[in-house]
Amino acid sequence: MKALGHFKTITEHKLLVMKYCFRVGLYRQGLLHDLSKYSWAEFRIGMKYYSGDHSPNASEREEIGYSTAWLHHKGRNKHHLEYWTDYDFSSGEPKLAGEPMPTKYMVELVLDRIAACRVYQGEKYTDSSPLEYLNRSRDATLMHPITRAQVTGLLTMLAEEGEAETLRHIKTVVLAHPEKIIPNLPRKEDPASKDRTFLRGEQARALADRLGTPFYLYDRATIENHCALLREAFAWNPGHRQFFPVKATPTPAILKLLREKGQGVVCSSAAELELCRRCGFLPEEILFMPNYPLPADLDAAAALGCRLMLDGPGLVEDFAARGMLRDGIGLRLNPGGVFRFGSAAVRLEAVKFGFTPEAALECVRQLQTHGVTSVGIHAYLSGNTLSPDYWPAAAKVLLWQAKKLMAETGINISYVNLSGGLGIPYRPSDKPLDIIALGDSVRQVFETETAGTALENVPVFTEVGRWITGPAGLLVTRVHHVRRGFRAIAGVDASASDLMRPMMYGAYHHVSVAGHEGEQNRTAWDVVGSVCENTDKFAVNRMLPEIAPGDVLLIHDAGAHGHSMGYQYGGRLRCGEYLLESGQVRRIRRAETTEDYLRTAIFEE
Ligand SMILES: *Cc1c(COP(=O)(O)O)cnc(C)c1O
């Protein structure tokens, strides 16, 4: 009778998955789903442990410590995330890690979970059950973050919008355009939360009328708050120094504000050095980290006498010739291999920065012949990440490299530079980093890794850019045209020349309509600029309230790598910048004019 019971359970489940697969157009997968459950290796176990409300695999696992049926099953069925795991040796010890699942199997996994929850939970099942199950399960640790984001997005949609809408979305959007499935659903508890920022509603419209659009607006209070939080996060390290990467927001008023808050700057070119000098930064507050530097960059740094960094081999003699070798000079390392943190992975061979471990050793020996007795170390390991595991993992890698250099050459380490790369919640569904908790995780790594060594209390340097100013900047723009053809399109007066990230990386920037924040009634819009490139789009298929010409749109999280990346392609010129402080708005950069555009042009022979 157990055989019949088990047969009924798996068949009921299989038919349900098949029905769902057919509804989204996955016919072959619908027919083949879970066929191996009817093989003797799996069926035998299912029959033996059949109970009706408990997984036979789990029962087998309880009895003999592992499940033979599951091992047989997950190796043959591509809709299981375990099928998509592989060895990862980056930590020194082999461990299993998830790879991204192909879209059609990711979808089958989602449908499998819906069906399994329905079959096992019976009348207790609701559209939220699969999401709740996912959140309770341990899957997240093995699932690749991209897959996890996709699965979470679809199950969130199921919980919020129901099965019919989710299946329709899977069929017409997810499977039809597999590259567009990164979820972008607002948080369930407060769908409009992301619409709210330091400027909104009537105030935004009034400011747009007064200043003329487009323009950048930065919020002093947000920047100050982030400076204070970062400082607090590293209060445990007496030597901590933060150097803001100038390329993120090279605007004097912002840089001076950061200096007031105790931050230094990282520069990578002669022009950035000059900018910082004019902003009042002292040489020891400037960390020069050029990348494949040009002679003019090195000359400028030598003249300034700032802190220096070697970003790879072949530079020692260039530095020596300019009298730039001294204690505390920095080395940018590239440990190679795959850098894994949490469930993300960065293949470091593809990174253009830094010394290989062998080259670093050789460089230190060379520096020692020039009388250098201490170096600082740095590595670029990842960028724009929201993983709380990134900095602790980077700290481990750097400390390990530091110990190796010390042991093999006797050099002293004057600081360990964690670099920047902390992400911000661009999407409503992103979870912001808790910087205080992050600082504490880094502290734990430093304490365990340096106890009893010469590295105890070694100063920690950081180079946080985006996390400090990103959320503190808005691009304010006005709608000039509304067109309804194949899609609803809002044409605005800002363009990629003001904010290039969406065009360049397909980056997401949240968009809100001033005065309609949090409005529930939304339809899909493209928000586009006026550069003659089809990629000049701030948002594609974005759910927004009704838009009319004259509306003011706010493009969020543009305070870092925003205005600074701007350019003049198509004769579109960069807009001005303003700083909001104590309720007042101060202009901190004028908009470019046609004269600026023509300044470098040569008209006469
Ligand atoms: C760009 C950059 C960073 C980090 O920038 P984030 O804004 O934090 O992403 C850090 N250090 C250097 C040298 C950089 O060039």
Nearest CA to ligand 1 atom 4: 420
- Give the pLDDT confidence of 87-144 residue by residue, as tens digits: 766 556 777 888 878 889 999 999 999 999 998 888 999 999 999 988 888 776 788 7
Does the Cβ of 154 fall within 6 Å of ligand 1?
Answer: no
> Residue 420 Cα, ligand 1 centroid: separation in angstroms?
5
Asked whether the predicted pLDDT for residue 570 surpasses 60, the reply is yes
Answer whether 383 contacts ligand 1 (Cβ < 6 A): yes
**214 cis-preceded (ω within 30 degrees of 0):** yes
> What is the distance between the alpha carbons of residues 134 and 113, in angstroms, rounded to a whole number?
9
Region label for 297, one of left (φ > 0), alpha (ψ between -120 and 50) or beta (otherwise): alpha
What is the average pLDDT across 409-422? 96
- Separation of CA 419 and ligand 1 centre (Å): 7
* pLDDT, tens digit, 9 for 90 and up, residues 381-401: 888 999 888 999 999 999 999
pLDDT at 91: 59
Closest ligand 1 atom number to CA of residue 289: 13
Q: What is the mean pLDDT of the chain?
A: 91
pLDDT at 87: 79
pLDDT of residue 190: 52
Distance between CA 232 and CA 228 in Å, rounded? Answer: 6
CA of 321 to the centre of ligand 1 (A): 28
Whole-prediction pTM: 0.71
Residue 188: CB atoms within 10 A of its CB come to 12
Task: Examine the pLDDT at 188 and tell me if it is beyond 70.
Answer: no
Indicate the pLDDT class of residue 178, thresholds 50, 70 and 90: low
Residue 246 alpha carbon to ligand 1 centre in Å: 8
Evaluate: CB of 512 within 6 angstroms of ligand 1: no
The angle that helices 40-48 and 2-24 make with each other, rounded to 10 degrees, is 120
In ligand 1, the atom with minimum distance to the C-alpha of 560 is 7
What pLDDT band is residue 441 in, cutting at 50, 70 and 90? Answer: very high
pLDDT, mean of residues 349-360: 90
Residue 516 has pLDDT above 60, yes or no: yes
User: DSSP labels for 412-458?
Assistant: EEEEEE----B----STTPPPP-HHHHHHHHHHHHHHHHTTSTTTTP
Between the CA of 241 and the centroid of ligand 1 the distance, in Å, is 15
Q: Is the CB of 248 under 6 A from ligand 1?
A: yes
Percent of the chain with pLDDT over 70: 96
Measured CA distances, 76 to 8, 36, 38, 386, 559 (Å)? 22, 7, 13, 34, 48
pLDDT tens digit string along 259-304?
999 999 999 999 999 999 999 999 999 999 998 999 999 999 999 9
Ligand 1 centroid from CA 287, angstroms: 12
Residue 215 has pLDDT above 50, yes or no: yes
Check pocket membership of 381 for ligand 1, CB cut-off 6 A. Answer: no
In degrees rounded to 5, what are phi and psi of residue 341? -145, 135
Q: Which residue's CA is the closest to the ligand 1 atom numbered 3? A: 420
The rounded Å distance from CA 381 to ligand 1 centre is 11
Q: Is the pLDDT of residue 184 over 60?
A: no
* Binding site membership of 291 for ligand 1 (Cβ less than 6 Å): no
Give the model's pLDDT for residue 2: 82
Q: What is the mean pLDDT of residues 190-205?
A: 82
Say if ligand 1 is within 6 A of residue 464 CB.
yes
Q: Which helix (H) or strand (E) holds 338?
A: strand 338-341
For a pocket test of ligand 1, which of 352, 380, 463, 468 has the largest count of ligand atoms closer than 8 A to its C-beta? Answer: 463
pLDDT of residue 94: 74
What pLDDT is stored for residue 248 in this prediction?
Answer: 98
Q: How far is CA 316 from CA 145, 273, 396, 495, in A?
A: 40, 21, 27, 43
- Between the two ends of the chain, the Cα-to-Cα distance in Å is 97
pLDDT in tens, 442-452: 999 999 999 99
Give yes or no for residue 502 CB within 6 A of ligand 1. Answer: no
What CA–CA distance (Å, rounded) separates 118 from 116?
Answer: 5
For ligand 1, whether the C-beta of 130 sits within 6 Å is no
Ligand 1 centre from 463 Cα, in Å?
Answer: 6
Which residue among 241, 244, 254, 266 has the greatest number of ligand 1 atoms within 8 angstroms of its CB, and so is best to mutate? 266
Question: 250 in ligand 1 pocket by Cβ < 6 Å?
Answer: no
The residue whose CA has the least distance to atom 1 of ligand 1 is 245
Task: Please say if the pLDDT value at position 186 is more than 70.
Answer: no
- Ligand 1 pocket, residue 564 CB under 6 Å: no
Question: Is 90 exceeded by the pLDDT of residue 220?
Answer: yes
Identify the residue whose C-alpha is closest to ligand 1 atom 10.
420
Is pLDDT at 191 greater than 90 in this prediction?
no
- Closest protein CA for atom 15 of ligand 1: 245
Q: Which two tokens stand for residue 2?
A: 């157990």
To test the pocket of ligand 1, the residue of 230, 247, 466 to mutate (highest count of ligand atoms within 8 Å of its CB) is: 247
Query: How many helices (H) and strands (E) would you count in the chain?
Result: 22, 21
Task: Please indicate whether residue 424, judged by its CB atom, sits closer than 6 Å to ligand 1.
Answer: no
Render pLDDT for 14-59 as a digit per residue (tens, 0 to 9).
Answer: 999 999 999 999 999 999 999 999 999 999 999 999 887 778 898 9
Nearest residue (CA) to ligand 1, atom 14: 245
- Ligand 1 centroid to Cα of residue 424, in Å, is 13
**What values do phi and psi take at 193, rounded to 5?**
-55, -40
- Token pair in block for residue 444: 């734990």
